[in-house]
Chains A and B, each alone.
Chain A
Amino acid sequence: MPSPHTHGHDVGERLFVHRHSVIHRLPAEVKTVAMVAFIFTVIMTPPGQFWAFAFFALILVVVAVLARIPARVILPRMLVEVPFVFFALLMPFFGTGPTVEVLGLSLSQAGLLAGWGILIKGTLGVVSSILLAATTPARDLLMGLERLKVPELLVQIASFMLRYTHVVSDEMHRMKLARESRGFTATGIRSWPIIAQSGGALFIRSYERGERVHLAMLSRGYTGRLPQLVTVTTTASDWFTAMSLPSVGLIIALTAIWMGR
């Protein structure tokens, strides 16, 4: 695919969908905690309680509507879950215990239930992550992690990764063009040494870029800490609004566990 022109935008910014909504306005760390807690309530719910998952899905639909994130943004990004759909589909063929006939195939009931559980929980998880990334700029997400006491160094590494992904992937694209303009076509394992050579060159260039960036930062007074340009104040009501999501999730999960006993 040709290199997209994304001047001044890092990779995370393209996932963000700009809107003015309650969800967008919430501070990043509040949203992150709420989403992770919500997903934990989803995964602790027994898969046999089908109604519970209908509620979970409904909650995410409400969040998407409130945030005004259209389905055409969410659905294509859900392709990421394709590999584990296959895994879930394998489950019914492996379970033990009673079986049912479906379209002439003898499938394990327990396996069907487990496969369904993996599929629906994975899907709800993917949609939750997509909503988080679509309503929160990538940089804010990382700054939010810092406010959650994630070590500053880790956040800095992740920020560098986001900031330079385009630079490095553009570089990789230029190397690919250069290879192809010299008549190279990748045809099986015999072409691996050539591709790996580009990989090696890419490492050296990335490493040296890291050194140059470091020197440039030192010359601007970097001492291992980055200045905070914006101060975000998180209020109790932000937490209250956001945590309503996992709170409802917890009620659903506990009810489902209680009913499933």
Chain B
Amino acid sequence: MQIQSMQVHTMHIPDGFINAPTSAVAGVIAVIGIAICLNGARKQLDEKTAPLAGLVAVFIFAMQMLNFPVAAGTSGHLLGGALAVILIGPYAGALAVSVVILVQGLLFADGGLSAIGLNIINMGLVTAVVGWFVFRGLVKVIGVSRPKVMAAAFVAGLVTVPVSALAFVLEYAIGGTGTVPVSTVTFAMVGVHIVIGIGEGLITALTVGAVFLVRPDLVYGVHDRLPKKLLVTFNPVATPVNGS
């Protein structure tokens, strides 16, 4: 795995795509959003926040580079917004994804420096809010077991992608520099991203399912709703920790 070979994330907005005032306002909104997340994560994790959110940021970064082959040489990869919030909670999850976007923009020229605020809103904050509420709402209704958690994770993953695309469409409608009409952009973006969303939902569900099988206590989205049975049989020694 070579990091330097630039990975392509089609959703990162470059410089010049959205005009300067809109980009600047988005920057301010992103700063406020991150401040809220920092506050919330600190309450949840205390001084564990930095190492844990940091390592989960690396995890999301690594997962984004994991190729999931589709067919005929094409492959998809994860965006990770829903996965992050389901696994470590809305605040720390949003922080982890936002830090990934910040580092990608600042170091890898992936996403424009002037568009970091826009990208953080679309991929870090919007996905966190939507992913979290969809997942929590669903597990509240259908309950907690491995298939049910996976189903909720699938829907949460699926929904975050077109909603994130809609956030982009909104920014484009306000300050887009392109000539493609907003209606066409909406149609194309949402259409394409529902398809991408199915992939995102599948990867999210399978990954959450894999974690739930071994360490259900590490799926923060259900940490307060775990059936007693799972808490009793859970054995931390059985977790593979080789290679550390």
* A residues whose Cβ falls under 8 Å from a Cβ of B: 1, 3-4, 11-12, 14-15, 32, 35-36, 39-40, 42-44, 47, 77-84, 87, 90-91, 94-96, 108, 110-111, 113-115, 117-118, 120-122, 124-126, 128-130, 132-133, 138, 141, 151, 153-154, 156-174, 176, 186-189, 191-193, 195-214, 217-218, 222-224
In the complex, B192 has a CB within 8 A of chain A: no
Question: Which of chain B's residues has its CB closest to A199's CB?
Answer: B207
* Residues 120-172 (chain B) with a chain A CB within 8 angstroms: none
Task: Tell me if B54 and A172 are in contact (CB < 8 A).
Answer: no
Contacting B241 at CB < 8 Å: which of A80, A108, A160, A208? A208
Task: Tell me if B59 and A203 are in contact (CB < 8 A).
Answer: yes
- Which of chain A's residues have a CB closer than 8 A to the CB of B105? 129
- Which of chain B's residues have a CB closer than 8 A to the CB of A94? 178-181, 184
Main secondary structure of the interface of B (DSSP, over half): helix
Main secondary structure of the interface of A (DSSP, over half): helix
- Which of chain B's residues have a CB closer than 8 A to the CB of A40? 20, 23-24, 114
Query: How many chain B residues touch A (Cβ–Cβ < 8 Å)?
Result: 87
Task: Tell me if B14 and A81 are in contact (CB < 8 A).
Answer: yes
Contacting A172 at CB < 8 Å: which of B62, B108, B114? B62
* B residues whose Cβ falls under 8 Å from a Cβ of A: 1-6, 8-10, 14-17, 19-20, 23-24, 34-35, 38, 41-42, 46-59, 61-63, 65-71, 78, 87-88, 95-96, 99-100, 102-103, 105-110, 112-114, 177-181, 184, 202-203, 206-211, 213-215, 218, 239-241, 243-244
Task: Tell me if A43 and B103 are in contact (CB < 8 A).
Answer: no
A198 to B243, CA, bound (A): 14
Contacting B109 at CB < 8 Å: which of A77, A189, A195, A209? A77
